[in-house]
Amino acid sequence: MARRMREYLQQQKNAQMREYAARVMPRLSTALQVEVVLHCHRHWLDRVWFLKNVEMICRVRLAMSMSSQVLAPGEVAPCRQLYIIVRGVVLFGGKILSQSTAWGDDVLLSDGRYFLPFLARAMCYTDLHKISHDEFHQVLECFPESAEKIRRVTIVLALKRHMIADYRRRRLIGQWPDVKEGDFLDQIGERASEITHKELKRAERERQLRETQMESVSMAVTLHNKEHEMTGSAAILGDTWSPGVTSDDTSQKQMKKDLLDLKTDMKLVKDNIMLMKAMLEKTMR
Protein backbone atom coordinates (compact mmCIF):
# COMPACT_ATOMS: atom_id res chain seq x y z
CA MET A 1 0.00 0.00 0.00
CA ALA A 2 2.80 2.41 0.92
CA ARG A 3 4.58 1.68 -2.35
CA ARG A 4 1.41 2.34 -4.36
CA MET A 5 0.81 5.61 -2.50
CA ARG A 6 4.37 6.81 -3.12
CA GLU A 7 4.11 5.86 -6.78
CA TYR A 8 0.78 7.67 -7.18
CA LEU A 9 2.05 10.84 -5.50
CA GLN A 10 5.15 10.73 -7.67
CA GLN A 11 2.99 10.47 -10.79
CA GLN A 12 0.79 13.31 -9.51
CA LYS A 13 3.69 15.76 -9.41
CA ASN A 14 2.99 17.15 -12.88
CA ALA A 15 -0.69 17.64 -12.06
CA GLN A 16 0.22 19.52 -8.88
CA MET A 17 2.53 21.80 -10.85
CA ARG A 18 -0.28 22.53 -13.31
CA GLU A 19 -2.64 23.37 -10.44
CA TYR A 20 -0.05 25.77 -9.03
CA ALA A 21 0.32 27.41 -12.45
CA ALA A 22 -3.47 27.72 -12.67
CA ARG A 23 -3.48 29.62 -9.35
CA VAL A 24 -0.95 32.06 -10.78
CA MET A 25 -2.97 32.73 -13.96
CA PRO A 26 -5.42 35.25 -12.39
CA ARG A 27 -2.48 37.50 -11.53
CA LEU A 28 -1.69 37.98 -15.22
CA SER A 29 -3.38 40.49 -17.49
CA THR A 30 -6.35 39.32 -19.54
CA ALA A 31 -4.47 39.46 -22.84
CA LEU A 32 -1.52 37.56 -21.38
CA GLN A 33 -3.85 34.93 -19.91
CA VAL A 34 -5.35 34.34 -23.35
CA GLU A 35 -1.90 34.03 -24.95
CA VAL A 36 -0.66 31.59 -22.31
CA VAL A 37 -3.79 29.42 -22.48
CA LEU A 38 -3.69 29.27 -26.28
CA HIS A 39 0.01 28.41 -26.22
CA CYS A 40 -0.55 25.56 -23.76
CA HIS A 41 -3.91 24.19 -24.90
CA ARG A 42 -4.42 25.03 -28.58
CA HIS A 43 -3.16 21.60 -29.67
CA TRP A 44 -6.21 19.91 -28.12
CA LEU A 45 -8.75 22.76 -28.33
CA ASP A 46 -8.88 22.27 -32.11
CA ARG A 47 -9.48 18.52 -31.72
CA VAL A 48 -12.74 18.76 -29.76
CA TRP A 49 -15.28 18.56 -32.59
CA PHE A 50 -18.12 20.44 -30.90
CA LEU A 51 -15.85 23.39 -29.97
CA LYS A 52 -14.59 24.13 -33.49
CA ASN A 53 -17.23 26.80 -34.24
CA VAL A 54 -17.23 28.28 -30.73
CA GLU A 55 -15.75 31.70 -30.02
CA MET A 56 -12.05 31.63 -29.19
CA ILE A 57 -12.53 33.51 -25.91
CA CYS A 58 -15.13 30.92 -24.85
CA ARG A 59 -12.70 28.09 -25.59
CA VAL A 60 -10.07 29.89 -23.54
CA ARG A 61 -12.46 30.17 -20.58
CA LEU A 62 -13.31 26.49 -20.85
CA ALA A 63 -9.62 25.59 -20.81
CA MET A 64 -9.06 27.81 -17.76
CA SER A 65 -12.00 26.18 -15.96
CA MET A 66 -10.59 22.67 -16.34
CA SER A 67 -9.02 20.86 -13.41
CA SER A 68 -6.35 18.16 -13.30
CA GLN A 69 -6.79 14.51 -12.36
CA VAL A 70 -4.50 11.49 -12.31
CA LEU A 71 -5.88 7.99 -12.91
CA ALA A 72 -4.05 4.93 -11.65
CA PRO A 73 -3.74 1.86 -13.90
CA GLY A 74 -7.11 0.13 -14.19
CA GLU A 75 -9.02 3.04 -12.67
CA VAL A 76 -12.30 4.10 -14.31
CA ALA A 77 -12.98 7.76 -15.06
CA PRO A 78 -16.35 9.17 -13.89
CA CYS A 79 -18.96 9.73 -16.60
CA ARG A 80 -20.59 12.96 -17.85
CA GLN A 81 -17.34 14.91 -17.96
CA LEU A 82 -15.19 16.17 -20.79
CA TYR A 83 -11.67 14.72 -20.58
CA ILE A 84 -8.42 15.63 -22.31
CA ILE A 85 -5.46 13.26 -22.05
CA VAL A 86 -2.26 15.08 -21.13
CA ARG A 87 -0.16 11.96 -20.62
CA GLY A 88 -0.98 8.28 -20.68
CA VAL A 89 -3.28 5.83 -22.45
CA VAL A 90 -7.01 5.19 -21.95
CA LEU A 91 -9.28 2.42 -23.26
CA PHE A 92 -12.72 3.79 -24.19
CA GLY A 93 -15.39 2.12 -26.30
CA GLY A 94 -12.99 -0.43 -27.76
CA LYS A 95 -10.54 2.29 -28.83
CA ILE A 96 -7.12 3.24 -27.50
CA LEU A 97 -6.91 6.97 -26.73
CA SER A 98 -3.55 8.64 -26.28
CA GLN A 99 -2.10 12.10 -25.64
CA SER A 100 -4.12 15.20 -26.70
CA THR A 101 -7.21 13.07 -27.37
CA ALA A 102 -10.61 14.09 -25.98
CA TRP A 103 -13.65 12.07 -25.01
CA GLY A 104 -16.84 12.74 -23.09
CA ASP A 105 -19.49 14.00 -25.54
CA ASP A 106 -22.05 13.18 -22.83
CA VAL A 107 -21.12 16.47 -21.19
CA LEU A 108 -23.49 18.09 -23.70
CA LEU A 109 -26.50 15.91 -22.86
CA SER A 110 -28.93 15.93 -19.95
CA ASP A 111 -31.04 12.83 -20.66
CA GLY A 112 -29.42 9.67 -19.36
CA ARG A 113 -31.08 7.58 -22.08
CA TYR A 114 -28.68 9.04 -24.64
CA PHE A 115 -25.43 8.51 -22.73
CA LEU A 116 -22.87 6.13 -24.20
CA PRO A 117 -22.77 2.77 -22.38
CA PHE A 118 -18.96 2.79 -22.23
CA LEU A 119 -16.50 3.36 -19.40
CA ALA A 120 -13.04 4.85 -19.80
CA ARG A 121 -10.33 2.80 -18.12
CA ALA A 122 -6.74 3.95 -17.67
CA MET A 123 -4.13 1.53 -19.00
CA CYS A 124 -1.32 3.24 -17.06
CA TYR A 125 -0.87 6.34 -14.92
CA THR A 126 -2.78 8.95 -16.89
CA ASP A 127 -2.84 12.74 -16.47
CA LEU A 128 -6.13 14.35 -17.48
CA HIS A 129 -7.79 17.71 -17.85
CA LYS A 130 -11.49 17.53 -17.03
CA ILE A 131 -14.57 19.72 -16.77
CA SER A 132 -17.97 18.63 -15.47
CA HIS A 133 -21.39 19.11 -17.07
CA ASP A 134 -22.38 21.91 -14.68
CA GLU A 135 -19.08 23.78 -15.03
CA PHE A 136 -19.22 23.46 -18.81
CA HIS A 137 -22.67 25.01 -19.08
CA GLN A 138 -21.86 27.62 -16.45
CA VAL A 139 -19.08 28.93 -18.70
CA LEU A 140 -21.40 28.90 -21.73
CA GLU A 141 -23.88 31.17 -19.92
CA CYS A 142 -21.37 34.02 -20.29
CA PHE A 143 -21.23 33.58 -24.08
CA PRO A 144 -24.75 33.54 -25.61
CA GLU A 145 -23.53 33.14 -29.20
CA SER A 146 -21.39 30.13 -28.33
CA ALA A 147 -24.19 28.71 -26.19
CA GLU A 148 -26.54 28.84 -29.19
CA LYS A 149 -24.04 26.94 -31.35
CA ILE A 150 -23.51 24.33 -28.63
CA ARG A 151 -27.29 23.98 -28.28
CA ARG A 152 -27.60 23.14 -31.99
CA VAL A 153 -24.79 20.60 -31.73
CA THR A 154 -26.49 19.08 -28.69
CA ILE A 155 -29.78 18.69 -30.59
CA VAL A 156 -28.02 16.92 -33.46
CA LEU A 157 -26.13 14.64 -31.07
CA ALA A 158 -29.29 13.78 -29.11
CA LEU A 159 -31.19 13.02 -32.34
CA LYS A 160 -28.35 10.80 -33.54
CA ARG A 161 -28.23 8.89 -30.25
CA HIS A 162 -32.03 8.53 -30.26
CA MET A 163 -32.08 7.07 -33.78
CA ILE A 164 -29.32 4.61 -32.91
CA ALA A 165 -31.09 3.55 -29.71
CA ASP A 166 -34.40 3.11 -31.55
CA TYR A 167 -32.72 1.03 -34.26
CA ARG A 168 -31.10 -1.24 -31.70
CA ARG A 169 -34.38 -1.64 -29.82
CA ARG A 170 -36.27 -2.57 -32.98
CA ARG A 171 -33.56 -5.00 -34.05
CA LEU A 172 -33.65 -6.65 -30.62
CA ILE A 173 -37.39 -7.31 -30.75
CA GLY A 174 -37.37 -8.09 -34.46
CA GLN A 175 -39.53 -5.14 -35.41
CA TRP A 176 -38.05 -3.35 -38.41
CA PRO A 177 -39.39 0.04 -39.47
CA ASP A 178 -41.47 0.09 -42.64
CA VAL A 179 -39.74 2.24 -45.21
CA LYS A 180 -42.20 3.25 -47.89
CA GLU A 181 -42.06 5.64 -50.78
CA GLY A 182 -43.17 9.08 -49.68
CA ASP A 183 -42.34 8.63 -45.99
CA PHE A 184 -41.09 11.42 -43.75
CA LEU A 185 -37.44 11.21 -44.77
CA ASP A 186 -38.33 11.14 -48.47
CA GLN A 187 -40.52 14.19 -48.01
CA ILE A 188 -37.68 16.01 -46.29
CA GLY A 189 -35.34 15.12 -49.16
CA GLU A 190 -37.83 16.25 -51.79
CA ARG A 191 -38.47 19.50 -49.96
CA ALA A 192 -34.74 20.16 -49.66
CA SER A 193 -34.32 19.50 -53.40
CA GLU A 194 -37.14 21.91 -54.24
CA ILE A 195 -35.66 24.64 -52.06
CA THR A 196 -32.21 24.12 -53.57
CA HIS A 197 -33.64 24.25 -57.11
CA LYS A 198 -35.53 27.46 -56.35
CA GLU A 199 -32.44 29.06 -54.84
CA LEU A 200 -30.37 28.13 -57.89
CA LYS A 201 -32.98 29.57 -60.26
CA ARG A 202 -33.17 32.74 -58.21
CA ALA A 203 -29.39 33.13 -58.19
CA GLU A 204 -29.27 32.60 -61.98
CA ARG A 205 -32.03 35.17 -62.49
CA GLU A 206 -30.23 37.71 -60.32
CA ARG A 207 -26.99 37.09 -62.22
CA GLN A 208 -28.70 37.68 -65.58
CA LEU A 209 -30.28 40.89 -64.29
CA ARG A 210 -26.93 42.14 -63.04
CA GLU A 211 -25.28 41.37 -66.38
CA THR A 212 -28.08 43.14 -68.29
CA GLN A 213 -27.82 46.13 -65.99
CA MET A 214 -24.06 46.32 -66.47
CA GLU A 215 -24.49 46.18 -70.26
CA SER A 216 -27.08 48.96 -70.15
CA VAL A 217 -24.84 51.13 -68.02
CA SER A 218 -21.96 50.53 -70.42
CA MET A 219 -24.17 51.51 -73.37
CA ALA A 220 -25.30 54.65 -71.57
CA VAL A 221 -21.71 55.69 -70.89
CA THR A 222 -20.76 55.07 -74.53
CA LEU A 223 -23.71 57.13 -75.80
CA HIS A 224 -22.89 59.92 -73.38
CA ASN A 225 -19.28 60.07 -74.56
CA LYS A 226 -20.40 60.05 -78.18
CA GLU A 227 -22.85 62.88 -77.53
CA HIS A 228 -20.11 64.87 -75.85
CA GLU A 229 -17.78 64.38 -78.82
CA MET A 230 -20.44 65.41 -81.34
CA THR A 231 -21.35 68.47 -79.28
CA GLY A 232 -17.71 69.55 -79.30
CA SER A 233 -17.49 68.99 -83.05
CA ALA A 234 -20.61 71.06 -83.63
CA ALA A 235 -19.15 73.91 -81.60
CA ILE A 236 -15.93 73.85 -83.63
CA LEU A 237 -17.80 73.78 -86.94
CA GLY A 238 -20.00 76.65 -85.83
CA ASP A 239 -16.93 78.80 -85.11
CA THR A 240 -14.97 78.06 -88.27
CA TRP A 241 -17.60 77.69 -90.96
CA SER A 242 -19.11 80.81 -92.43
CA PRO A 243 -22.91 81.11 -92.32
CA GLY A 244 -25.04 81.37 -95.36
CA VAL A 245 -23.59 78.34 -97.12
CA THR A 246 -26.12 75.66 -97.99
CA SER A 247 -23.82 72.71 -97.33
CA ASP A 248 -22.98 74.05 -93.85
CA ASP A 249 -26.62 74.50 -92.94
CA THR A 250 -27.36 70.96 -94.04
CA SER A 251 -24.48 69.57 -91.96
CA GLN A 252 -25.58 71.47 -88.86
CA LYS A 253 -29.16 70.25 -89.26
CA GLN A 254 -27.93 66.67 -89.59
CA MET A 255 -25.83 67.04 -86.42
CA LYS A 256 -28.78 68.44 -84.50
CA LYS A 257 -30.88 65.51 -85.65
CA ASP A 258 -28.19 63.05 -84.56
CA LEU A 259 -28.01 64.73 -81.15
CA LEU A 260 -31.77 64.46 -80.72
CA ASP A 261 -31.61 60.77 -81.65
CA LEU A 262 -28.83 60.23 -79.12
CA LYS A 263 -30.83 61.95 -76.38
CA THR A 264 -33.83 59.77 -77.21
CA ASP A 265 -31.69 56.62 -77.05
CA MET A 266 -30.20 57.68 -73.73
CA LYS A 267 -33.66 58.28 -72.31
CA LEU A 268 -34.73 54.80 -73.39
CA VAL A 269 -31.61 53.29 -71.82
CA LYS A 270 -32.29 55.20 -68.59
CA ASP A 271 -35.87 53.94 -68.48
CA ASN A 272 -34.62 50.40 -69.13
CA ILE A 273 -32.16 50.66 -66.25
CA MET A 274 -34.85 51.92 -63.87
CA LEU A 275 -37.16 49.07 -64.90
CA MET A 276 -34.46 46.44 -64.35
CA LYS A 277 -33.59 47.97 -60.98
CA ALA A 278 -37.23 47.71 -59.89
CA MET A 279 -37.36 44.08 -61.07
CA LEU A 280 -34.15 43.29 -59.18
CA GLU A 281 -35.48 44.82 -55.95
CA LYS A 282 -38.73 42.87 -56.34
CA THR A 283 -36.78 39.64 -56.88
CA MET A 284 -34.59 40.24 -53.81
CA ARG A 285 -37.70 40.59 -51.66
**CATH number of the domain to which 148 belongs:** 2.60.120.10
Question: CA dist 276 to 139, 211, 264, 283, Å?
Answer: 51, 11, 19, 10
Are 223 and 269 within 8 A, CB to CB?
Answer: yes
Which residues have a Cβ under 8 Å from the Cβ of 278 and sit 6 or more positions away? none
Residue 165 lies in a domain: no
Query: Is 179 contained in some domain?
Result: no
What percent of the chain has pLDDT above 90? 12
Mean pLDDT comparison of 71-75, 110-114, 209-213, highest-scoring range: 71-75
pTM here? 0.56
Same domain for 266 and 148? no
Q: Are residues 130 and 24 in the same domain?
A: yes
Q: What gap in Å lies between CA 276 and CA 273, rounded to an integer? A: 5
Q: What kind and span of H or E run contains 239?
A: helix 184-240
**pLDDT tens digits for 86-130?**
888 999 988 899 888 889 888 999 888 888 888 899 998 898 989
Name the packing angle between helices 246-284 and 184-240 (round to 10°). 160
Q: For 212-230, what is each residue's pLDDT tens digit?
A: 777 766 776 776 676 666 6
What's the distance, Cα to Cα, between the start and end of the chain in Å?
76
Question: How many independent structural domains does the chain possess?
Answer: 2
Nearest to 139 by CA among 71, 77, 82: 82
Apex 259 CA angle, 258 and 263, nearest 5:
120
Contacts of 200 (CB under 8 A, 6+ apart): none
Q: How confident is the model at residue 237 (pLDDT cuts 50, 70, 90)?
A: very low
Would 26 be classed as within a structural domain?
Answer: yes
Over residues 183-200, the pLDDT tens digits come to 555 666 666 667 677 777
Q: Which domain holds residue 240?
A: 184-284
Please tell me whether residues 82 and 150 are part of one structural domain: yes
**Residue 176 counted as domain residue:** no
The domain boundary, picked from 103, 122, 157, lies at: 157
